[in-house]
C-alpha cells in the first residue's frame, strides 16, 4: 500500500500574531513544522510527503524540508482546502491512501498515524478525534447587543448577541476533530472536487467528504496531539515537548527467534497470521496450526527466557485442541508482560508455495499486532517460496521463521 502524507503548512498565522508563520516558531528548541514533518518522514508506512508552504517560502524552504526524493514542496493557497488541493495534485499517482496533517500539530505519534491510515484503508475515510470531556452546551443568541460595550469576545464571535443555552448536547456523541485525517485517493479526489463545485468553505477535508456523501470513521485521537493556534498554546506545547523529548532511560533489549513447520493435508483450514486463507489444504496440528503465530510465539517466549510454545501449550493437553493460535500468541505476550517485558517489534517470514499470501499481508499484520498489543507498523510479514525444493517446495508443507525484539518495560512517570 502506497501512502502519501500531506502537511498543511500554507497558513501565515495571522491569528497568532507572531510576525511570521507560526509553524516556523520553535517548541522545545525545534521548529513546529520540522516536528510535524519528521513524524511522517520517520513513519515506516509513509512513502511520500508533500508540504504546502506559503508562496514566499517555496523557493527557499527551511533546510529540514530539503530531503531528496521523498519530499515535495508546493505553494499553499488562500484557504486550507486550497493548499490541500495543490498538494493533492502533486501527490504520486501510485498513492492508495493520502493522510493529511496540520503543521501546527507537532506531537502526533507513530501509533496515531498508523491507526488513521489503517482505518482509511479499510473504510475509505478516517479522522483522529477526541471524545468531549466536558458537558457540551449549544449557544443561542437571545438578543442583539446594543453596542460593543455590551459584548464579550464570545458574543462578538456570534454576531454580538447575548447568549443563552439553547440546548445541552449528549456528551457521549460529541467528538473533537484532530488530524491526521486519511482517505483513499479516489474519495479524497471526489471530496475536493465536490467542495470546489459546490463552493463549500470547509475547515477540514473530513467535512468535504461528509458533504459529498462519504462516511468518515472516527479513530481514537490523543490528548497530546494539540493544535498550536494562539500564543496561550505555547506553554502547553513546551510542556509536552519536555516530556516527549527527554532521553529515554536505558532499557535492556533482548532478541528471540522462532521456527515452525506443519504438513499440509486435505480437510483442514489454512490459517496464517490469524487470517483464514482460501485453500483446499490446511496445516496439520493440534491447534489451528498457524505457523506465523507459532513462530512469533516461540520468538517472544525465547527472548524472555520462557522456553517455547510446546512447554506452555503442549499438544498433549486437550485444552489446546483446535485452539486459535492468535489466542495462544496473545497469552504468550501476556506472559512476557508479567515478567516485565514489552514487545518492540516482530518480523516473520512465511515459506509456502501456494496459495499466495501477498494480498493478505496487511490483514495479517493487523491481526498479529492486536494479539501482542503493539501497532501494526511494528509487525512485518514476508512471504517466500522454496523454489520447488523439498517438501515445502512440493507443496506438502508450510514453514515460518520469526524474530522478536523485546525490552524491559519503562515505568518512568
**In the chain, domain spans:** 3-132+174-245, 133-169, 253-408
Distance, CA of 315 to CA of 285 (rounded, Å) = 8
Cell of 174: 460529541
pLDDT at position 68 is: 60
Q: Is the peptide bond before 341 cis (omega within 30 degrees of 0)?
A: no
pLDDT at position 236 is: 92
Phi, psi of 89 (to 5 degrees): -65, -25
Q: For 253-408, CATH number? A: 3.30.1330.50
* CB-based contact 320:314 (threshold 8 Å): yes
15-60: pLDDT as tens digits: 666 567 788 888 988 899 999 999 998 888 899 999 999 988 888 8
Homologous superfamily (CATH) of 3-132+174-245 is Spore Coat Polysaccharide Biosynthesis Protein SpsA; Chain A (3.90.550.10)
pLDDT at position 220 is: 92
Q: What is the mean pLDDT of residues 313-320?
A: 88
pLDDT at position 152 is: 47
* CB-based contact 194:212 (threshold 8 Å): yes
Q: What is the DSSP string of 136-148?
A: EEEEEEEEE-SSG
Q: Which residue has the higher pLDDT, 69 or 160?
A: 69
| Whole-model pTM over 0.85 | no
Q: Could you identify the residue written with the cell 520462557? A: 306
88-123: pLDDT as tens digits: 999 999 999 999 999 999 999 999 999 999 999 999
Percent pLDDT > 90 in the chain is 61
pLDDT at position 143 is: 62
**Mean pLDDT of the residues in the chain:** 87
Classify the phi-psi angles of 69: left when phi > 0, otherwise alpha if psi is within -120 to 50, otherwise beta: left
Distance, CA of 26 to CA of 80 (rounded, Å) = 22
352-386: pLDDT as tens digits: 999 999 999 999 999 999 999 888 889 999 999 99
| Residues paired with residue 253 on neighbouring β-strands, in sequence order | 407
pLDDT at position 249 is: 54
240-297: pLDDT as tens digits: 988 777 655 555 689 999 999 999 999 999 999 999 999 999 999 989 999 999 999 9
Amino acid at each position: 500500500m502506497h501512502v502519501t502524507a500531506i502537511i498543511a503548512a500554507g497558513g501565515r498565522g495571522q491569528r497568532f500574531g507572531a510576525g511570521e508563520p507560526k509553524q516556523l516558531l520553535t517548541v522545545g528548541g525545534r521548529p513546529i513544522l520540522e516536528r510535524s514533518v519528521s513524524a511522517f518522514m520517520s513513519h515506516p508506512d509513509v512513502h511520500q510527503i508533500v508540504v504546502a508552504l506559503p508562496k514566499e517560502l517555496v523557493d527557499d524552504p527551511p533546510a529540514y524540508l530539503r530531503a531528496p526524493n521523498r519530499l515535495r514542496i508546493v505553494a499553499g493557497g488562500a484557504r486550507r482546502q486550497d493548499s490541500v488541493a495543490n498538494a493533492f495534485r502533486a501527490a504520486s499517482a501510485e498513492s492508495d491512501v493520502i493522510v493529511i496533517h496540520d503543521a501546527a500539530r507537532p506531537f502526533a505519534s507513530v501509533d496515531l498515524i498508523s491507526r488513521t491510515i489503517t482505518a482509511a484503508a479499510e473504510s475509505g475515510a478516517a479522522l483522529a478525534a477526541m471524545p468531549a470531556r466536558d458537558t457540551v452546551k449549544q449557544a443561542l443568541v437571545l438578543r442583539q447587543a446594543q453596542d460593543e460595550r455590551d459584548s464579550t469576545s464570545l458574543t462578538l464571535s456570534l454576531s454580538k448577541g447575548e447568549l443563552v443555552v439553547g440546548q445541552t448536547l449528549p456528551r457521549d456523541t460529541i467528538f473533537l476533530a484532530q488530524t491526521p485525517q486519511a482517505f483513499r485517493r479516489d474519495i479524497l479526489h471526489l471530496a475536493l472536487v465536490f467542495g470546489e463545485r459546490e463552493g463549500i468553505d470547509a475547515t477540514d477535508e473530513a467535512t468535504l467528504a461528509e458533504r459529498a456523501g462519504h462516511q468518515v470513521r472516527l479513530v481514537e485521537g490523543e490528548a497530546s496531539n494539540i493544535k498550536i493556534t494562539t500564543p496561550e498554546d505555547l506553554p502547553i506545547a513546551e510542556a509536552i515537548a519536555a516530556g516527549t523529548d527527554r532521553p529515554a532511560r536505558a532499557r535492556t533489549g533482548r532478541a528471540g527467534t522462532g521456527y515452525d513447520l506443519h504438513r499440509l493435508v486435505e480437510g483442514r483450514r489454512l490459517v496464517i497470521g490469524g487470517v483464514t486463507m482460501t485453500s483446499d489444504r490446511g496445516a496439520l496440528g493440534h491447534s489451528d496450526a498457524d505457523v506465523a503465530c507459532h513462530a512469533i510465539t516461540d520468538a517472544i517466549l525465547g527472548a524472555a527466557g520462557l522456553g517455547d510454545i510446546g512447554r506452555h501449550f503442549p499438544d498433549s493437553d486437550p485444552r489446546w485442541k483446535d485452539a486459535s493460535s492468535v489466542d495462544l500468541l496473545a497469552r504468550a505476550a501476556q506472559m512476557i508482560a508479567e515478567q516485565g517485558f514489552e514487545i518492540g517489534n516482530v518480523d516473520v517470514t512465511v515459506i509456502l508455495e501456494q496459495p499466495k499470501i501477498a494480498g493478505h499481508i496487511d490483514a495479517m499484520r493487523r491481526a498479529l499486532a492486536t494479539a501482542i498489543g503493539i501497532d501494526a507498523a511494528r509487525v512485518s510479514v514476508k512471504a517466500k517460496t522454496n523454489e520447488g525444493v523439498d517438501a515445502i517446495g512440493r507443496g506438502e508443507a508450510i514453514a515460518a521463521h520469526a524474530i522478536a525484539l523485546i525490552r524491559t518495560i519503562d515505568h518512568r512517570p
